[in-house]
A and B are shown apart, each in its own frame.
Chain A
Amino acid sequence: MAGIISFGAYVPIWRLGEGTKDWGSKAERSVTNFDEDTLTMSVAAAADCLAGLDRKAVDGLYVASTTFPYGEKQAASTVATAGDLGSSIFTSDVGNSLRAGTIAFKMAMDSVKAGSGKRVLVTAADVRLGASRSDIERNGGDGAAAFLFGDTGEAATIDAQHAVVNEIIDNWRPEGETGVRSWEDRFVFQEGYLKAVGQCVTELLQKTGLKMEQFDKVILYAPDARRHAEAVRLIKADPKKVQDPLFGKLGNTGAAFALMQLVTALEEAQPNQRFLVVNYGDGADALVVHTTAKITEVQKLPRRGMKGFLASKKAVPDYADYLKWRGMFSADSGVRRPAGGGPSPAALYREQAEVLRFQGVKCNKCATVQYPPQRVCTICHEKDNFTPIRLSDSKAKLFTYSMDYIAGTPDVPLVISVLDFAAGGRAVLMMTDRDTKEVKIDMNLELTFRKLRLAGGIHNYYWKAMPVR
């Protein structure tokens, strides 16, 4: 039977909250660093979901979001490559609706059920951007969830699902704009959110014959804490059984929001529990997720998960930093450095193993690991006799570093790190998500997929080092 065989999440390390000057609220929300976006978070959540599993077994990938980097150019193909998945797989982006996550979820499940995919990965991620000081900004959050579907070893099955469509302009973002717009509050919630959620849950219960009290957990998308409470009352869910939506800790992460809550629920689940998941956007989706005896085993996979990612956090020092990261405020770096030119798509295409998969090579003669891939071994001079080795998930230690105050990057000083991998090999990478005070020789590092820059209309992605979270 088709079901969830693994799950994972990603929450950026940064929080706007009490520790942020001029944020003006005690409530915390997660925010992506300047070098993160939907695509990088999708890669991180996919890695979390696939930790301890065979990446080459994945034969389908759906990437869901409302904030893709390109209007034309698939995100899923980049996620598949950076995730070091195989190339004979089906990939698709699912977008344009806050419900994109649960839509992708349904598509993946249907594909496994129909037998067109055996191991199908779904990611959902969003960077929620509203006008400065708006409710959307204050209640929003950035994050990602990932699920692996398959027909053997399910930790949870999807027993039923229901969808309704509701054509309405309540929240929307026109092409070319970065912030989400909203119509007048009362209309948005009464005719939009509450109406669609109410109808979808009522019809799902009718269709399945289930009663509200038969659910061990109720997971609800909501734009904010107040609407969440209203929806709980409307569908007559027992507040004690409602999954904490993490307002004030994480925030509304858009297309990923309901699914990130589901990840939390699965992390804490017992065997044979029934969850109701309700998502909203241009209508509503409702799902019945049912854990199996396998859940305990799957919980033990080496993922960081929602629990791990939420616990690892740093306060954005100043609201102005956040505005700078999102490009809503530009500060002079004080130095004149040439702007990086656009990369060559031909070079990016040819060097994918190095750049996106972050593969090095291991010499078949002397076993020396080298990054980037080489033709001739640096030690024994053997020619063209190497085996690729993925280093993106290898632990690493800092050998030496520099702190560059004149690099002209948004994160001054730019930390350039020389790191040695536990698997062998050395690389020189920028370090991100760091507090300069914690940077020390021999510190433990891991790799994280990031956006280096937008140049020539190309979002140039690569890996950076970061302190282990």
Chain B
Amino acid sequence: MESIKDKVAIIGIGCTRFGERWDKNAEDLMVDAVYEALEDSGLESKDIQAAWLGVHTSFDTGQPLAQAMKLEYIPITRVENACATGSDAFRNACFAVAAGVYDMVLVAGVEKLKDSGMTGLVGGGGSPGTNVAPPSTAPASFSLAPQRYAHHYGMRPEDLKKALAHIAVKNHHNGSLNPKAHFQREITIEQALTAPMIAYPLGLFDCCGVSDGSAAAIITRPEIAKQIRQDYVLVKGLGLAVGGNQGYLQSRYDFVHFEECVAASKQAYEQAGVKNPLKEIDHAEVHDCFTSTELIICEDMGWAPRGKGPEYVMGGVFDLEGELAVNPDGGLKCFGHPVGASGLRMMYEITKQLQGKAGPRQRKNPTLGLAQNLGGAPATSSVAVTILGARD
């Protein structure tokens, strides 16, 4: 089995402002993101030979991308993998480039969530079934983990709450430095702790934004990238692990980790040759749909020992100036979470960081950045881990 390391390069990247985009429809958002990526690469849409579109519920098929961008009869594949859709679209596009089948490939991700008029995420259609599963909202299914976490490690719930508040405050701080973020205001620990309860222990500020937005990337092989720009970014590892409902079928699942996350990170670390992730990875965009999810991911990725996540969080290890900055762009929490676009939004920030173009959020000379994107919920999910690096 060959590693994907250094076989694919990002030469253009774009991302819209995320948020309540009453002013734009999903096609408009795609046009904005894709044009930004094209301008970043210096290419035109006629240079694109194939495209992948990541979209969760807003569209079916790859056609909307062709319709919005007026792409002329090129192959376009729509990819859907719940909240990991954007990363998985990128992953599949990378394989086409690495295989040498296409030279110039576009990956776009988009989601229009706010037009539904509903609270939180609203599931897609599909055939009616028995409809007996609990009407579980995302906060409810994710709160199953922190609820058990405190019990499992014998933590006082109020201490766990404080660590979660630290994550919320950190991500709001990072978001305040990001003009494209959905939420750009700082919050205090006090505000996070006293916010209205959504699904215990998750209060309002523990939950990410539900947003509209789009992000896009242009990828090619490194030897072509060299001719286009000097600061292209290399793909170092692509992991994906998909759950088979083991967490609900097997009583041994503990609800304090994501097995899919452990498996996907192992794949990506092996490909990238990462041995000591906390030391080697400079910054990471992780799937903080809820603050508790970020906490557990940091343990699953091997950045904090099991049960020590709260200590590391409180110690500032994952702060913007910390040893490994987690969600320097504000994360799902503040940048927002237009499902199909989120994975590509993560790669947008990492690319900008590696190119030294992250403005007030810029880390010092980063060489490796990581995106962790999770679709599903504790007990069964799809987790994609993407490692990107600056060119040698």
Q: How many residues of A contact B (CB 8 A)?
A: 48
> 1/0 contact trace for B131-142 toward A, CB 8 Å?
111111101110
Residues A418 and B255 in contact, CB atoms below 8 Å apart: yes
| Cβ of B63 under 8 Å from chain A | no
Which residues of chain A come closer than 8 Å to B255, judged between CB atoms?
Answer: 399-400, 418
- List 13 A-B pairs, Cβ < 8 Å: A336-B119, A338-B123, A344-B128, A355-B132, A400-B147, A400-B151, A402-B139, A406-B139, A407-B137, A414-B140, A416-B134, A416-B136, A418-B248
Residues A413 and B132 in contact, CB atoms below 8 Å apart: no
Which residues of chain B come closer than 8 Å to A406, judged between CB atoms?
Answer: 119-120, 137, 139, 198-199
Residues A343 and B129 in contact, CB atoms below 8 Å apart: yes
| Cβ of B153 under 8 Å from chain A | no
A360, B201: Cα distance in complex, Å: 31
Closest chain A residue to B256, Cβ basis = A400
> 1/0 contact trace for A307-346 toward B, CB 8 Å?
0000000000000000000000000000111101111100
A426, B252: Cα distance in complex, Å: 10
**Tally of A-B residue pairs with Cβ under 8 A?**
140
Q: A402's contact among B131, B199, B248, B250, by CB below 8 Å, is which?
A: B199
| Cβ of A409 under 8 Å from chain B | yes
Residues A426 and B137 in contact, CB atoms below 8 Å apart: no
Report the 8 A-B pairs with minimum CB-CB distance, sorted nearest first: A404-B140, A400-B148, A462-B132, A343-B131, A378-B249, A402-B143, A344-B128, A402-B140
Residues B140 and A342 in contact, CB atoms below 8 Å apart: no
Residues B199 and A374 in contact, CB atoms below 8 Å apart: no
| Cβ of B99 under 8 Å from chain A | no
**Nearest Cβ in chain A — how far from B110, in angstroms?**
21
Give the most central of A336, A351, A404, A413: most B CB within 10 Å: A404
* Given known A338-B118, A400-B147, A400-B255, contact A344–B129 (CB-CB < 8 A): yes
Q: Which of B103-124 contact A (CB under 8 A)?
A: 116-120, 122-123
Closest chain B residue to A421, Cβ basis = B251
> 1/0 contact trace for B250-269 toward A, CB 8 Å?
11010100000000000000
Closest chain A residue to B150, Cβ basis = A441
Residues A379 and B250 in contact, CB atoms below 8 Å apart: yes
Residues A426 and B249 in contact, CB atoms below 8 Å apart: yes
A304, B119: Cα distance in complex, Å: 42
| Cβ of B191 under 8 Å from chain A | no
Residues B248 and A428 in contact, CB atoms below 8 Å apart: yes
Residues B250 and A404 in contact, CB atoms below 8 Å apart: no
| Cβ of A452 under 8 Å from chain B | yes
| Cβ of A429 under 8 Å from chain B | yes
A371, B133: Cα distance in complex, Å: 13
| Cβ of B67 under 8 Å from chain A | no
| Cβ of A161 under 8 Å from chain B | no
A335, B135: Cα distance in complex, Å: 14
**Nearest Cβ in chain B — how far from A117, in angstroms?**
32
| Cβ of B58 under 8 Å from chain A | no
Closest chain B residue to A377, Cβ basis = B249
* Given known A338-B122, A428-B248, contact A403–B128 (CB-CB < 8 A): no
> 1/0 contact trace for B219-242 toward A, CB 8 Å?
000000000000000000000000
A401, B128: Cα distance in complex, Å: 26
| Cβ of B130 under 8 Å from chain A | yes
Residues A425 and B134 in contact, CB atoms below 8 Å apart: no
The interface of chain A, by Cβ under 8 A from chain B, is: 335-338, 340-344, 347-348, 351, 354-355, 368, 370-371, 374, 378-379, 399-409, 413-414, 416, 418, 420, 424-430, 441, 452, 455, 460, 462
| Cβ of B66 under 8 Å from chain A | no
Q: A370's contact among B130, B148, B249, B253, by CB below 8 Å, is which?
A: B249
Q: B251's contact among A335, A355, A424, A441, by CB below 8 Å, is which?
A: A424
**Nearest Cβ in chain A — how far from B350, in angstroms?**
32
Which residues of chain B come closer than 8 Å to A441, judged between CB atoms?
Answer: 147-148, 151
* Given known A401-B147, A402-B144, A402-B200, contact A408–B249 (CB-CB < 8 A): no
**Nearest Cβ in chain A — how far from B152, in angstroms?**
9
A424, B251: Cα distance in complex, Å: 8
A439, B130: Cα distance in complex, Å: 28
Residues A336 and B118 in contact, CB atoms below 8 Å apart: yes
Give the most central of A351, A399, A420, A430: most B CB within 10 Å: A399
Residues B132 and A404 in contact, CB atoms below 8 Å apart: no
Which residues of chain A come closer than 8 Å to B118, judged between CB atoms?
Answer: 336-338
Which residues of chain B come closer than 8 Å to A413, judged between CB atoms?
Answer: 197, 199-200
| Cβ of B245 under 8 Å from chain A | yes
Residues A341 and B128 in contact, CB atoms below 8 Å apart: yes
Residues A409 and B135 in contact, CB atoms below 8 Å apart: yes
* Given known A402-B199, A425-B251, A426-B248, contact A343–B130 (CB-CB < 8 A): yes
| Cβ of B244 under 8 Å from chain A | yes
A409, B136: Cα distance in complex, Å: 11
**Nearest Cβ in chain A — how far from B10, in angstroms?**
37
Tier of interface size on chain B? 35 or more
Residues B250 and A414 in contact, CB atoms below 8 Å apart: no
Residues B135 and A340 in contact, CB atoms below 8 Å apart: yes
**Nearest Cβ in chain A — how far from B58, in angstroms?**
16
Which residues of chain A come closer than 8 Å to B127, judged between CB atoms?
Answer: 344, 347
A139, B147: Cα distance in complex, Å: 43
A340, B118: Cα distance in complex, Å: 13
Q: Which of B82-111 contact A (CB under 8 A)?
A: none
**Nearest Cβ in chain A — how far from B56, in angstroms?**
16
| Cβ of B246 under 8 Å from chain A | yes
Which residues of chain B come closer than 8 Å to A405, judged between CB atoms?
Answer: 196-199
- List 8 additional A-B contacts (Cβ < 8 Å) besides A371-B249, A399-B255: A340-B135, A347-B127, A355-B132, A400-B147, A404-B143, A406-B137, A430-B134, A441-B148
* Given known A416-B141, A441-B147, contact A399–B251 (CB-CB < 8 A): yes
Residues B134 and A340 in contact, CB atoms below 8 Å apart: no
Which residues of chain A come closer than 8 Å to B250, judged between CB atoms?
Answer: 368, 378-379, 426
Which residues of chain A come closer than 8 Å to B253, judged between CB atoms?
Answer: 426
Which residues of chain A come closer than 8 Å to B144, judged between CB atoms?
Answer: 400-402, 416, 418
A406, B144: Cα distance in complex, Å: 15
Residues A426 and B119 in contact, CB atoms below 8 Å apart: no
A455, B197: Cα distance in complex, Å: 29
A407, B133: Cα distance in complex, Å: 13
Which residues of chain B come closer than 8 Å to A409, judged between CB atoms?
Answer: 135
Which residues of chain A come closer than 8 Å to B249, judged between CB atoms?
Answer: 370-371, 374, 378, 426
Which residues of chain A come closer than 8 Å to B147, judged between CB atoms?
Answer: 400-402, 441
* Given known A402-B199, A406-B198, contact A452–B132 (CB-CB < 8 A): yes
Which residues of chain B come closer than 8 Å to A430, judged between CB atoms?
Answer: 134
Residues A341 and B148 in contact, CB atoms below 8 Å apart: no
Which residues of chain A come closer than 8 Å to B132, judged between CB atoms?
Answer: 343, 355, 452, 460, 462
Which residues of chain A come closer than 8 Å to B116, judged between CB atoms?
Answer: 338
**Nearest Cβ in chain A — how far from B218, in angstroms?**
37
A400, B249: Cα distance in complex, Å: 15
A400, B247: Cα distance in complex, Å: 12
**Nearest Cβ in chain B — how far from A385, in angstroms?**
16
Which residues of chain B come closer than 8 Å to A425, judged between CB atoms?
Answer: 251
**Nearest Cβ in chain B — how far from A152, in angstroms?**
38
Which residues of chain B come closer than 8 Å to A407, judged between CB atoms?
Answer: 135-137, 140
A424, B132: Cα distance in complex, Å: 21
Which residues of chain B come closer than 8 Å to A370, judged between CB atoms?
Answer: 249
**Nearest Cβ in chain B — how far from A343, in angstroms?**
4
